[in-house]
Structure 1
Amino acid sequence: MARGLSSPARQRLSDVLLGLTIAGGVVSTVLVLLQLIAGTDNGKGQPILKSLAPVSLNGILPNDNATDFLVHLRWFGTNFAWEYPTAPDGVPSSGFTPHSYTNVNVRRDFGVIAAAIDLPSESYDCPTPGPRVQTCSNVFFEACRSYMFSSPMSSQPSLPFIINCLTFVLAITVLFQEWAIKYKPYWMKCRCLILKKWCPCPNGTQEEIEALEEHAWDKVRLSYWALLMLWFKLSAVGGNALNRLFVMHVSYIDERLPEGLSVDPKIGPAYEVVSWGSLVFGFLSFVFILAKWFLSRRPKGWLEQQDLSNISIQEEGVQDQAVDSNSTAYKDTD
């Protein structure tokens, strides 16, 4: 498969570029996986990798002086993990809200947490805003009745989680294809039922596919690594954008809170490092495989640079040998 390379040095450099491509893809895949498993229950009611929470905020229960909130919340894409460090005896100090993948209702999740820490139902189960409606005794849930926060046009923060799931599946597929190209190249045969002309995978018999040169496989690699890089970009850029919209959405609660009290919503710095890191390593993998593709091409004018006289002499020698063998084969033995 390396017939497109002109020297051992080019072959070694090509192998190094492929190794760097795969290494970058593995790192990006691991970073996406960390985002997916962050917030999973560790068996003790605590989230693992809680520093990777995309969004964190405070709320639910203010302290006696109404200067801060006692419950810390972390959003992990499909649910909240919450902590109540000063919980009295008999009251849970941490927990999770139910997972939601389609119909995210943050206001409902806040009520679930309030019920878990034994707040009176009248302090959080408040009617929607309207004339002559009694205010909530809990300033946080009173602020949650803000029109901008309770608007049905709320963001759907579970979308980044779904994007990460799809990105992870594609990354595993691309890494598996690298194994298949090396050990089972025939498995890479195009099997598309529609849009076959857009498929980057080769057609042909098993012998034809296994005889393909390096540059042909690099074209296949380039297509899939470019697609994967775009998904890493969607994961990082789209995830950060949607989570920032979520922060802006939650910030409307502050508009109706007493002065000096804030839910303090913010994007997690560790989450940003991991999400943008997956894009950086994914982009580097694409650059490396692009360089390998250029390296494995036959140089322009390579045919004119060959010693055609030697080729002609060799061909004549082959033809003479064929004639001699044929004359011997048909020699009259009588």
Structure 2
Amino acid sequence: MDHSPSEPVSPGRRHLMRPLLLVLAFIFALFVALVQILTLTAGTWVIRDSNGAQRLGLSSLATVEFDGIIASQTNPNTYLVTMHQFAASFAYTYPSKSLAGTLDSSPHLPYDFGAVAHALRLPESEWACYHFAQDACQNNPFLSAFRKSWLILPTATANIALVYALVVVSYLFVTELLIAVRPSWLRCQCYFSCIKRVCPCPRGTRAEIEALPPVFWDRYRGWCWFMLPAAAFLPAFTLGGNGMLLKEYVNRPRGLEGDVNGRFGTGFVILQALCFAASVAGAGCMVLRRRLGMRKSWMEEQGVGLKRGA
């Protein structure tokens, strides 16, 4: 059995792998940006099929889903209407009637329940209590149970996190463009000396900055790309936090016969997990690229060629 040490990466393979890692990192970054765009647009429009059926666009990306409003006549333990909380809308679907619709950009509960009942053209006696305090919600236990239970989600924080993720990805692309075209524009602009010591930006004249070796720019990219995992994590964290609040709100015991069944959207969970994994992979590509460019092996420094079986 051959126990000889593994050969180091040859210079030719190293020069080939470095640009490939850069391209791969930007593919991961593009995926992170695509996830934020899909998350922002999911559930904001209604698709109308040729047969008149209505459904929500990208409904599988709902942060939280729960059932309510109309109880099933054949199975009182279930509800026929499903409500969906997205990053930019609160919407509902009524599958048995092929109906769907969107309401506000964020839920204002329980008032949105009354708006859903009104949109579904339920008798006014069932949802009038949401508009006239002296009236009671007749013949609708669900609306009666939620009548005096309020919830307003801080959706602005999640929206800021989504926009921040898009800004970070845009910043990475602009930075790479400037490194290739006009690196002097990335010169350190810090005013305080204590900040200048830790600032990764280059210092010097335009000629000095443009003459910097690739290893410097790999180190600079490392500082930039470590922002990508944070940018991918923040939207998932803020949306997940709002989802936890909504899920706890609708699942709170209220003596209802039917099961509200508040749950996280499967598509949302999977997509956010893939997004964070892609962001870590993108940063990892940059770390590996830097390691490949940091140091040559001793044999390469001495100019000794590597030969198999030597």
* TM-score of the two chains, using structure 2 as the length reference: 0.79
Aligned to 1:142: 144
Partner Cα separation in structure 2 for residue 282 and residue 240 of structure 1: 18
2:103 is the alignment partner of 1:97: yes
Residue 110 (structure 1) aligned with residue 109 (structure 2): no
Structure 2: 5+ residue runs without aligned partners? Answer: 1-9, 49-53, 304-310
Structure 2 equivalent of residue 330 of structure 1: none
Q: What code does the residue aligned with 1:137 have?
A: N
Match of 1:263 in 2: 260
Aligned to 1:3: none
Cα distance in 2 for partners of 1:31, 1:113 equals: 29
| Equivalent-residue separation in structure 2 for 1:108 and 1:240 (angstroms) | 23
Q: Deviations over 1:76-131 (max 9, x none)?
A: 123222122444xxxx922110224xxx5221221211121223344224379x9x
Distance in 1 of aligned mates of 2:260 and 2:182? 55
The aligned length equals 285
In the alignment, residue 273 of structure 2 is paired with which amino acid?
A: W
Q: 1:84 to 1:135 in 2, by over 3 A?
A: closer
Once the two structures are superposed, the pairs formed by residues 1-334 of structure 1 within 5 Å of their partners are: 7-42=11-46, 44=48, 46-65=55-74, 66-87=76-97, 93-100=99-106, 104-126=107-129, 136-145=138-147, 149-150=149-150, 155-157=153-155, 159-192=157-190, 195-252=195-252, 254-258=253-257, 261-298=258-295
Normalized per residue, the structure richer in strand is: 2
1:332 is aligned to: none
Shift in CA distance, 158/50, structure 1 to aligned 2, threshold 3 Å: farther
With the length of structure 1 as denominator, give the TM-score of the two structures. 0.74
Distance 2:36 2:153 in 1: 22
Deviations 1:115-166 (A, max 9, x none): 21223344224379x9x995653111122146xx43x6x6435543432222
Contact 2:47/2:57 (8 A) holds in 1 = no
Pair 95,73 (structure 1): closer, same or farther in 2 beyond 3 Å: same
Query: 184-193 or 34-43: which moved more?
Result: 184-193
Supply the distance in 2 between the matched residues of 1:29 and 1:248 (Cα, whole angstroms): 30
Identity %: 26
> Which sits farther off after the overlay, 16-25 or 221-230?
16-25
Query: Runs of 5+ in structure 1 lacking a partner?
Result: 1-5, 308-334
Q: Partner amino acid for 1:186?
A: S
